[in-house]
Amino acid sequence: MDIIDLRSDTVTRPSAGMRDAMARAEVGDDQFGEDPTVNELQERVADLLAKEAALWLPTGTMANQVALRVFARPGDDVILARESHAMWHETGAAAANAGVQFTELGTGGVFTANEFRAARKPRGHPLYPPTTLVEIEDTHNRAGGVVFPPEEAVAICAAARELGVASYLDGARLFNAAAAGKRTAAELAAPFDLVSIALSKGLGAPGGSVLAGAREHIDAAVRYRRMSGGAMRQVGIFAAAGLHALDHNLGRLAEDHSNARLIADLVAQSPRVILDPKAVRTNILVFRLTGDGPDAATVVSRARDRGVLVFAFGPRTVRAVTHLDVSRQACRLAGTLLLEAVDASS
């Protein structure tokens, strides 16, 4: 049985072409700034996002952690959307590494500039923890690949600037947001002081994220990357995979989006599934299970028996993610098998 793995867009394996590019990469010691392939990738991403400078990091989690260190001090308050990656998927790193507290806002991965203004706490107050950073996740993972409304991001970042609060975009799937919203990644990145993108998600590289922003913030990030143990050596081998991904896999993300929608259309046929297929605009679908049917663990296990791997996000919540290693045909089959897994009598 061929397994259709929809647990995440991180499960992709480097293609023959990508491996070839990695094998041929010119490398040097990146801590001396001497890896030409890393330097090329950093310049390429800085250009793509229209920022002054960029920095390669081994993971997106480290990019998020470094961003906190650049802008916030222990005891500071950081505002972000409810169920953000930084809060739910980083094992408490923000508290342990940056010593910040989070204020979660909004619903469905999104919040408004007015909500931000109401939640933001001023510096110099005798009681309040000062809000020094606002973070947006685009697309928002746990909310189901939700695209943050661009005008609202502009309004939030404008309010932040006025109030002396820095802004950070966790754009692990920014290129998905751009493809879905018919904007360029640079347009979506423009309002923010610092932006991260992942090479290891929809782009299909085996590892690597990149932070981009003003030179002074990137210089600070170099220090905090080292402090996190993430400064590496001949990582041009990874950077070559990233460059190959930007050349070959950026233009096809819309296919993943339409495949996710196809799965959503099939799964939503079950009365036991709570999901609006029209809301599935990128490569992630998150559906809830009604109380009268199986729970998420049961659906995951039945799906596995049928050759489809998905992820239980909560007791009654399941996530499926499309990516470049699953074809449209495989997604159509997976949708049918998932529907069976939800509706099976035992």
Ligand X SMILES: *Cc1c(COP(=O)(O)O)cnc(C)c1O
Tokens of 57: 């990091």
Pick the closer one to ligand X by CB: 198 or 296: 198
For 15, phi and psi rounded to 5 degrees?
Answer: -70, 170
Pick the closer one to ligand X by CB: 9 or 341: 9
Please report how close the Cβ of residue 127 comes to ligand X at its closest, in angstroms.
32
Q: State the Cα–Cα distance between residues 168 and 84, nearest whole angstrom.
A: 13
Pick the closer one to ligand X by CB: 172 or 220: 172
Please report how close the Cβ of residue 56 comes to ligand X at its closest, in angstroms.
12
CB-side exposure of 208: number of CA atoms within 13 Å?
27
Contact set with ligand X (CB under 6 A): 59-61, 64, 85, 137, 141, 170, 172, 198, 200, 209
Please report how close the Cβ of residue 189 comes to ligand X at its closest, in angstroms.
15
Please report how close the Cβ of residue 207 comes to ligand X at its closest, in angstroms.
7
Please report how close the Cβ of residue 177 comes to ligand X at its closest, in angstroms.
11
Q: State the Cα–Cα distance between residues 62 and 53, nearest whole angstrom.
A: 18
Pick the closer one to ligand X by CB: 166 or 342: 166
- Give Dmax (Cα) for the chain: 64
Quote the crossing angle between the two packed helices 328-343 and 253-267, to the nearest 10°.
30
Pick the closer one to ligand X by CB: 88 or 128: 88
- Minimal CB distance residue for ligand X: 60
Q: Which residue has the tokens 């061929």?
A: 2
Query: Is 135 in a helix, a strand, or coil?
Result: strand
Helix (H) or strand (E) holding 320: strand 317-321
Please report how close the Cβ of residue 84 comes to ligand X at its closest, in angstroms.
7
Paired strand residues for 210: 56, 197
Pick the closer one to ligand X by CB: 145 or 294: 145
CB-side exposure of 223: number of CA atoms within 13 Å?
9
Pick the closer one to ligand X by CB: 12 or 200: 200
For 136, phi and psi rounded to 5 degrees?
Answer: -120, 140
Please report how close the Cβ of residue 137 comes to ligand X at its closest, in angstroms.
5
- Position 343: which residue type? D
